[in-house]
Structure 1
Amino acid sequence: MTPATRLSLACSTALMALGGAAAAQSYTIGITQNNVGVDSYQTTYEQAFIAAAEANPDVDVVVLDAGGDVARQIAQIQDLVQQDVDAMIIWPTNGQAVIPAVREAYRAEIPVIITNSNIAEEGFDFVRSFSGPDNITQGQRAAEIMCDRFKEKGIEDEAQIVEVTGQPGYTTAIERSEGFQQRLPEVCPNVTLLDSQPGNWNREDAQQVMEAFLVQYDDIDGVYSGDDNMGVGALNAALAADRAGDITFVGATNFAVGYDAMERGEYWGSIYQSPVDDAEAALQTAIDVLEGEDVPFLNYFDTPKITQENMDEFDRPVF
């Protein structure tokens, strides 16, 4: 994939060539993403975003990927400002560090939509809308899944757990951890959180973190991971150590690998989230803002609980 892909739709171009007298308003919307290659969720998101743009003859998009590099993303935001795009969608690499660049877009009167993972609160004044999941709620629901399972097993007063978080400084990682750690003591006050370490949204990193946990802690009853990609990494470490059978694994963003592990009975539960819905919602939010629609600042889509007990109600994820 090239760093920048411009999708110019022939239908829109033809209408412009005719003078645009009868044409609908056309828009150029730029997007800079976090790190498309890091996991299948982000890869599927990009594919869905491009497909949604191609289906709309009135939209041209400039698609960029920061590759997880904050400096690169800041430069991409500045480049989109120079291109004078009609609207900008940002999937932040770091919710704090991008704020000055977002302010530049705001001052250039380019409406900014934040997608998937919000920026820090002090940047909210420069943003028209956030489109994505409610990550605090996801973390809370994951805690409820974990607690309910412990109650079924009769260990809610003695269970010990570890946590594998996402990329440090990344708002989704922070919020899912906060939601989980806030809710767990409310529903299972006697469960002990032994440790929390970042897995960087990477399965191999999460596996290494879990390997260290297994060496350090003799008694682990549960693992909460910020997404199923990391959760399966933690599961793989436990399987290799022959300790998976005693551990309840709960994640968020139900990846196909997590769904399959649930089907095998190795992984207990997660939060169901679609990258296709995520991408389509971000693009539509940008279009709605440009067309003067009344768009809520926090434009969440629902992310329900999924466990081994109700997984037959959900389609296998496409990522």
Structure 2
Amino acid sequence: MKLRNILATTTAATLALAGAAFADGHGGYKIGITQNNVGVDSYQTTYEKAFIAAAEANDNVEAVVLDAGGDVARQIAQMEDLIQQEVDAIIIWPTNGEAVIPAVRKAHKAGIPVVVTNSNIAEAGFEFVKSFSGPDNITQGSRSAEIMCDKFKAMGIENEAQVVHITGQPGYTTAIERAKGFDDRLPEVCPNVTIVDTQPGDWNREKSQKVMEAFLVKYDDIDGVYAGDDNMGVGALNAAKAAGREGIIFVGATNFAVGYEAMERGEYWGSIYQSPVDDAEAALKTALDILNGKELPFLNYFDTPKITQGNQSEFTKPVF
């Protein structure tokens, strides 16, 4: 495999050189990936490493690995670059589910199959995508609501509990879907629980800690916190610990190592187990299956089970 690991700021001319045909002439597929924001959290960093490792293990793959750095305009430019390089397939982890649709449409018109990974684009763009590879984020949010409700019932507070909700980055499909899954499911399983406030944490632990600090000042009674991932959830936990507010139930939606460790300490109740390695490998396999003519479902999900203090021993600690 020939790997082209290109910085997000690289010029189109350099990209064209880097994406040249296989030097050894053995043929194969050239697959480009433009990621959301490697380095913003350990999940995305681990995903990139796993994707590179999976590509390196396949002699029939040349990978052009790009990162948008969270910048929609940069990701659109990277899509343009990959189209110009005439890659065989493009994998995109969207920075914004709506804004990237024109670029995805352009790849489709150029005859390049597009796989969306991890976080889907808006529904208006589905017709330009071959397959989505990743978790079912609405189901994840729904399962998080069930985890929280079950715990409230065990505590006998299911008719009075008050919850605050820390979401991911606004406009980001994963954030929208996890929030929807949670907000729709919680009233079904615990109709008397109240969500008193919702604020974005932008997938950032420090910002989420500040959001939680504000919640703690504003609300004297907080029984539960739902965060769109454990990175944000642990930020909220840190704020509660600093304020001496004990007994709050913390539930996330992607189990990070810090969340797993907090669960071991009895400080964090539950989350959803999702592997970035599985995520990355599934995206590459999906692209290769499409290029090899295999029929795949449009929504190509991998399972993400519930993890709580009660069944934690069944799961290995995440590597991110």
TM-score by shorter chain over 0.5:
yes
**Deviation (angstroms), 1:221:** 0.1
Match in the other structure for 1:293? 294
Match in the other structure for 2:164? 162
Match in the other structure for 2:76? 74
Of 112, 115, 120 in structure 1, the residue corresponding to residue 114 of structure 2 is: 112
What is the CA deviation profile of residues 203-231 of structure 1, one whole-angstrom value per residue up to 9, with x for unaligned ones? 00100000000000000000000000000
Match in the other structure for 2:215? 213
Q: Partners in 2 of 1:126 and 1:143 — Cα distance?
A: 33
Q: Partners in 1 of 2:30 and 2:301 — Cα distance?
A: 24
Matched, 1:306 2:310: no
Match in the other structure for 1:252? 253
Q: Partners in 1 of 2:173 and 2:319 — Cα distance?
A: 24
Q: How does 1:1-319 map to 2 (within 5 A)?
A: 3=7, 13-14=23-24, 16=25, 20=26, 26-243=28-245, 245-319=246-320
Q: Partners in 1 of 2:312 and 2:6 — Cα distance?
A: 37
Contact 2:144 2:252 in 1 (8 A): yes
What is the CA deviation profile of residues 125-155 of structure 1, one whole-angstrom value per residue up to 9, with x for unaligned ones? 0000000000000000000000000000000
Q: Which runs of 5+ in 2 are unaligned?
A: none
What is the CA deviation profile of residues 83-105 of structure 1, one whole-angstrom value per residue up to 9, with x for unaligned ones? 11000000000000000010000
Off by >4 Å, runs of 4+ in structure 1? none
**Deviation (angstroms), 1:75:** 0.5
| SS at structure 2 position matched to 1:156 | coil
Q: Using the aligned pairs only, state the percent identity.
A: 76
What is the CA deviation profile of residues 22-50 of structure 1, one whole-angstrom value per residue up to 9, with x for unaligned ones? xxx60000000000010000000000000
State the AA in 2 paired with 1:316.
K
Aligned residues: 308
Q: Partners in 2 of 1:53 and 1:184 — Cα distance?
A: 40
State the AA in 1 paired with 2:205.
R
Q: Partners in 2 of 1:68 and 1:214 — Cα distance?
A: 30
Q: Partners in 1 of 2:284 and 2:180 — Cα distance?
A: 28
Contact 2:35 2:94 in 1 (8 A): yes
What is the CA deviation profile of residues 226-251 of structure 1, one whole-angstrom value per residue up to 9, with x for unaligned ones? 000000000000000000x2200000
Q: Partners in 1 of 2:191 and 2:263 — Cα distance?
A: 26
Q: Partners in 1 of 2:180 and 2:107 — Cα distance?
A: 30
**Deviation (angstroms), 1:2:** 5.4
| SS at structure 2 position matched to 1:28 | strand
Contact 2:6 2:64 in 1 (8 A): no
**Deviation (angstroms), 1:296:** 1.0
**Deviation (angstroms), 1:295:** 1.1
What is the CA deviation profile of residues 54-101 of structure 1, one whole-angstrom value per residue up to 9, with x for unaligned ones? 000000000000000000001000111111100000000000000001
Q: Which runs of 5+ in 1 are unaligned?
A: none
Contact 2:113 2:129 in 1 (8 A): yes
**Deviation (angstroms), 1:179:** 0.1
After TM superposition, the score normalised by the length of structure 2 is 0.94
| SS at structure 2 position matched to 1:197 | strand
After TM superposition, the score normalised by the length of structure 1 is 0.94
What is the CA deviation profile of residues 245-293 of structure 1, one whole-angstrom value per residue up to 9, with x for unaligned ones? 2200000110000000000000000000000000000000000000001
State the AA in 1 paired with 2:85.
Q
**Deviation (angstroms), 1:3:** 1.1
Q: Partners in 1 of 2:166 and 2:88 — Cα distance?
A: 39
What is the CA deviation profile of residues 104-128 of structure 1, one whole-angstrom value per residue up to 9, with x for unaligned ones? 0000000000000000000000000
**Deviation (angstroms), 1:13:** 4.2
